Amino acid sequence: MTKLRTERKLALPITTARLRLREFVLADFDAIHAYSSDPRVTKYLFFGPRDADGTADYLEGLLESQRELPRTRFELAVEEIASGRVIGACDLSVIERNVVDLGYMLGIADWGKGYATEIALALAEAAFHDLRAERIISTVDVNNQASIHVLEKVGMRWEAVFRKHRRAKNRWWDCHFFVLPREVWELAKERLDAEQG
């Protein structure tokens, strides 16, 4: 007997007030290289800064991941609607059946505009609605105060510190572990809808 498998898909693009989260394409190479080669952008990330070859390898891997079945990694371009510029990347990765990992990065020119919060809120909605997640998680370097603030703003709760979580860039990384359960998200949405209605 064949077991039926339900494939989970994101409805793309995901559009917010100012941003479009869409699949990467080959033509995005220059934009990707611009932000991922900047050491200020990659300071709290496990990779980078990337050189041109590293960017090419990364983009090739992204395009391959778009064809995987079942797809478990949704790494998306962040495009500013007004300008059409690709200003960063974001992702949802299915790491267990009902658990999705959320991440994002933006080029430095677009820091401080509220874009990261806008991205995280849109990704959370997509993870719970399209991917039917029960929990969203995110890990962040203990020193990355800006990202910690974004995760807290979207309702994620600090759960633990992972000491020596991962070895990258010739050092061990200590990371905060944040969680957003579905029931917390739904209660927050109901409260917000009641306030606006």
Is it the case that residue 36 has pLDDT exceeding 90? yes
- Whether 142 maps to a domain, the answer reads yes
Q: Which pLDDT score, from 0 to 100, does residue 6 have? A: 57
Looking at residue 7, its pLDDT comes to 67
Structure tokens given for 164: 């020596």
What total of structural domains would you count in the chain? 1
Tell me, what's the pLDDT at 4? 40
121 is written with which tokens? Answer: 């809120």
2 within domain boundaries: no
Q: Is residue 4 part of a domain?
A: no
- Please tell me which of 148-152, 158-162, 165-169, 172-176 the model is most confident about, judged by mean pLDDT: 148-152
Residue 89 placed within a domain: yes
- Long-range CB contacts (< 8 A, 24+ apart) of 44-49? 44/140, 44/141, 44/143, 44/144, 44/147, 45/105, 46/166, 46/168, 46/169, 46/173, 47/168
Task: Look up the domain containing 54 and give its range.
Answer: 14-196
| Residue 34 DSSP SS3 | helix
What's the distance, CA 106 to chain centroid?
10
Between strands 19-23 and 14-15, the pairing is antiparallel
Cα separation, 189 vs 184, in Å, equals 9
Bridge partners, 89 (sequence order): 77, 105
Q: Does residue 48 form part of some domain? A: yes
Please tell me whether the peptide bond between 49 and the residue prior to it is cis, using omega within 30 degrees of 0.
yes
Q: Does 5 map to a domain?
A: no
CATH number at residue 160: 3.40.630.30
Q: Which pLDDT score, from 0 to 100, does residue 189 have?
A: 79
Nearest Cα neighbor of 9 from 62, 71, 68 is 71
1 is a domain residue:
no
**159: helix, coil or strand?**
strand
Q: What is the overall mean pLDDT for the chain?
A: 91
Mean pLDDT for the stretch of residues 139-157:
94
